[in-house]
Amino acid sequence: MYKVFLILFSLILSLQSYGQTGIGTTTPNASAKLEIAATDKGLLIPRLTVTQKGNISSPANGLLVYQTDGVVGFYVNTGTSASPVWTRINMDWLKTGNDIAFTTGNVSTTGTLTGGNSSTSSLSGFTANVASISANYSITASDNGKVIQTTGASAITITIPTGLPTGFNCTIVQMGAGQVTFSGTILNRTGFTKTASQYSVVSILHLGSNSILVTGEMSN
């Protein structure tokens, strides 16, 4: 009887070695090498700090860990063992039907954002950033896309430096009584360098190679 038991036990081990393994189930799914079944427990994978994760020797592509500090979450190595790239599997993106939304932080890209159809695609949910100044001011790259309104009663000078990014553009509105003088190497069809009067609107557009066009309701 003991020999029969050993033979049966060996046969079971052999079948498990070449088939599927089940934990909590005797009938693991045929498509799974390992199936863990439970109704009151979960699967807990290794939990590591950023430092511990970085100290893993030659992590395999696809290796999954849970990071417990820094930006907490699940991380998977999408690189190679020699050059690991730890990518966070995050829940910051929300999907509703065919729409996705990002709920926290900032979204940035060095590539191209492309609409589905050039004639009907649009940006929505964005408002112009309106800044107010009442004294002399120097334009910076962070003013790109802004509307800058001058509110003072006295004349001021807005300096437009070289080195602004190509495509830079912003709008100046003289809301106060003080006239605005534009200083810098600028292009203007009439050679004007000042706003015409209160409520004048002037655009600043950088076309590249420090060719900066300043135009609108202007005078001298």
Indicate the number of domains in the chain: 2
Domain residues for the domain of 176 are 130-219
Q: pLDDT at position 11, please?
A: 47
pTM for this prediction = 0.58
**What's the DSSP call for residue 54?**
H
Choose one of 57, 89, 121: the last residue of a domain: 89
**CATH number of the domain to which 138 belongs:** 2.60.120.640
Choose one of 73, 89, 105: the last residue of a domain: 89
Choose one of 58, 89, 120: the last residue of a domain: 89
Q: pLDDT at position 114, please?
A: 79
Joined tokens for residue 27:
């009938």
With H, G, I as helix, E, B as strand and everything else as coil, classify residue 81.
coil
Winning range, highest mean pLDDT, from 50-64, 85-99, 100-114: 50-64
pLDDT in tens, 124-160: 777 779 999 999 999 999 999 999 999 999 999 999 9
- Give the Cα separation of 57 and 77 in Å (integer): 12
- Give the Cα separation of 43 and 48 in Å (integer): 16
Residues 6+ apart with CB under 8 A from 129: 145, 146, 147
pLDDT in tens, 164-194: 999 999 999 999 999 999 999 999 989 999 9
Identify whether 147 is part of a domain: yes
Q: pLDDT at position 38, please?
A: 94
Residue 76 and residue 137 share a domain:
no
Identify whether 148 is part of a domain: yes
Q: pLDDT at position 1, please?
A: 52
**Strand-pair partners of 87:** 76
Q: pLDDT at position 177, please?
A: 97
Sorting pLDDT into bands at 50, 70 and 90, what band is 207?
A: very high
Residue 24 CA: distances (Å) to CA of 28, 39, 40 = 9, 10, 11
